[in-house]
Amino acid sequence: MKNIEYKLFEQESFNLTHIFECGQCFRWNKENDGSYTGVVKNSVINVQKNGDEIIFKGTSNEDFENTIREYFDLDTNYDEIKRKLASIDKYLKESTEFGNGIRILHQDLWECIISFIISANNNIPRIKKIIETISKNYGEKIEWNNKVYYTFPTVEALAKASVEDLRAMGLGFRDIRVYNTTHLILDKKFDMERIQKMDDSNQMREELLKLDGVGPKVADCILLFALKRFDVFPIDVWVRRVMNDLYIHNENEEKVNKKELTKLAEEKFLGIQGLAQQYLFYWKRETA
């Protein structure tokens, strides 16, 4: 493993807190100096910001600069996206200003599938803890700066875990779902390469829904965070809440129809619903 440092200057839309605390990822932790450290594929990465300067440090065997470019979605123009969204109405204006430094990370498909199956009816601290435990037990060890990190396990590695092993790691009722999905992928009943080549979001969603533990919400998160489909709208309790408060005004928020919400988002946010969702989610959750 090589020790690497890479710097970026004057990168638009890049706020560490916004990126790592907006709920899209579970494996990044804040350091005492305000930087964040995480594991991406086989690399440990630490990101810090000094004014206009963004410094990536870490250890890697691969093309570090390219890994960074892809993972942090540096080729997407977020200023343009924010301009479009802000022009829709005052709420989008406010939420894009609030989360102005958000970027949608390009996460690994396999890791994303398992992580969001675990996220079902769960809270973020516990989700993070479970994923960390899984990585410790089935991932590869990496040492960097006198600290120990673990990669997220491969399909083959995680397939060695029994349902009981998974339960023991704190997954609760999600154990069987993770087990079944892992084996569907291991046995090639679900082809991760094929889905990455598809171009229709609805067709991709249909495929994802075949996995155990993947319903409409989790499928849309996978589409948004790993398959880079911005034309999806994951509906969870927070988004339902914010959309109802702003646009629908139903007295009973739980009764808000999902189809109606999806259609409203499609019409309002025109192909970048996923981004709108992320700004609204972060805004509402942090200011609630």
For the bound state, the minimum distance from the C-beta of residue 35 to DNA, rounded and expressed in Å, comes to 21
Q: Which of 238, 262, 272, 286 touches DNA by CB under 7 A?
A: 238
Using CB under 7 A as the binding rule, whether residue 172 contacts DNA is answered as yes
Measured from the CB atom, the residue of 6 and 172 that comes closer to DNA is: 172
For the bound state, the minimum distance from the C-beta of residue 64 to DNA, rounded and expressed in Å, comes to 26
Measured from the CB atom, the residue of 74 and 222 that comes closer to DNA is: 222
Per DSSP, helices labelled H in 72-118 are 78-86, 90-98, 109-118
Please answer whether residues 41 and 151 qualify as being in contact, where contact means their C-beta atoms are separated by less than 8 angstroms: yes
Instruction: Give the pair of three-digit tokens for residue 76.
Output: 């997407």
Q: Which of 239, 256, 261, 265 touches DNA by CB under 7 A?
A: 239
Using CB under 7 A as the binding rule, whether residue 263 contacts DNA is answered as no
Query: How many positions of this chain bind DNA (CB under 7 A)?
Result: 37
Return the DSSP state at 27: S
Binding residues for DNA restricted to 191-230, rule: CB under 7 A: 211-219, 221
Q: Render the burial of 230-246: b for 16+ CB within 10 Å, e for the rest.
A: bbbbbbeebbbbbbbee
Using CB under 7 A as the binding rule, whether residue 234 contacts DNA is answered as yes
The contact pattern for DNA, residues 13-52, with x = CB under 7 A and - = no contact, is ---------xxx----------------------------
Q: How far does CA 255 lie from the centroid of its chain?
A: 27
d(C-alpha 283, C-alpha 121), whole Å: 21
Positive or negative, the CA dihedral 183, 234, 202, 112 is: negative
Which one, of 272, 275, 282, 273, lies nearest residue 242 by Cα? 282
The contact pattern for DNA, residues 87-126, with x = CB under 7 A and - = no contact, is --------------------------------xxxxxxxx
For the bound state, the minimum distance from the C-beta of residue 282 to DNA, rounded and expressed in Å, comes to 8
Measured from the CB atom, the residue of 89 and 164 that comes closer to DNA is: 164
For the bound state, the minimum distance from the C-beta of residue 274 to DNA, rounded and expressed in Å, comes to 9
Please answer whether residues 39 and 150 qualify as being in contact, where contact means their C-beta atoms are separated by less than 8 angstroms: yes
Categorise residue 243: left if φ over 0, alpha if ψ from -120 to 50, beta otherwise. Answer: alpha
d(C-alpha 254, C-alpha 144), whole Å: 47
Measured from the CB atom, the residue of 59 and 135 that comes closer to DNA is: 135
For the bound state, the minimum distance from the C-beta of residue 241 to DNA, rounded and expressed in Å, comes to 8
For the bound state, the minimum distance from the C-beta of residue 4 to DNA, rounded and expressed in Å, comes to 28
Return the HEC string of 212-257. Answer: CCCCHHHHHHHHHHCCCCCCCCCCCHHHHHHHHHHHHCCCCHHHCC
Q: Which of 37, 60, 273, 278 touches DNA by CB under 7 A?
A: 278
Query: Which stretches of the chain bind DNA, using CB under 7 A?
Result: 22-24, 119-127, 167, 170, 172-174, 177, 211-219, 221, 234, 236-239, 277-278, 281, 285
